[in-house]
Amino acid sequence: MTQAEELALMKSKPLQLFKMYLAQLEEGTPLDEAQTAKFEYLKKLFIKDEED
């Protein structure tokens, strides 16, 4: 999937992309820089910490 396709998916179906990144990490494949930026945003969307 290209960066542009991932960006579009992040806007339209963020949970799907979040799950895709989690699966990628579970497989042991690190995220690249662009994926890391998107993953950090998706974490804020789907994982609430105490300060939230």
Partner 1 sequence: MSFISLSDYSNKVVIGGQTHSSTFRKTTTVVTTAGVWFDGSNMSGHPVTNFYASTPLKAEYLLAREGIQHGSNVSSDQKHLKRVTAMCSVAPVNLLFIDSLLYYPFIDGDSTDEQVFDNTNSLTRETTGVGVNAYVVAQGTYIGGAEFFITYTNQAGVSGRTSKLCRSNLATTAGTIISSGASSGAMSNAWFIPLADGDTGIRSVQSFTFLSANGGIFALVLCKDLGNLSIREANVPAEKDFLIDTGLNMPIIPDGAYLSFLVLPNASIASAPIYGNIQTTWG
Please give the residue ranges that form the binding site for partner 1 (CB under 8 A): 2-4, 7, 10-11, 32-41, 43-44
Question: 5 vs 23, which CB is nearer to partner 1?
Answer: 5
Summary count for the chain: helices (H), strands (E): 3, 0
Least distance CB 47 / partner 1 (angstroms) = 12
Residue that is written with structure tokens 């789907």 in the block:
46
Q: Output the CA torsion 33→15→10→2 (10° steps).
A: 60
Question: 11 vs 48, which CB is nearer to partner 1?
Answer: 11
Least distance CB 28 / partner 1 (angstroms) = 19
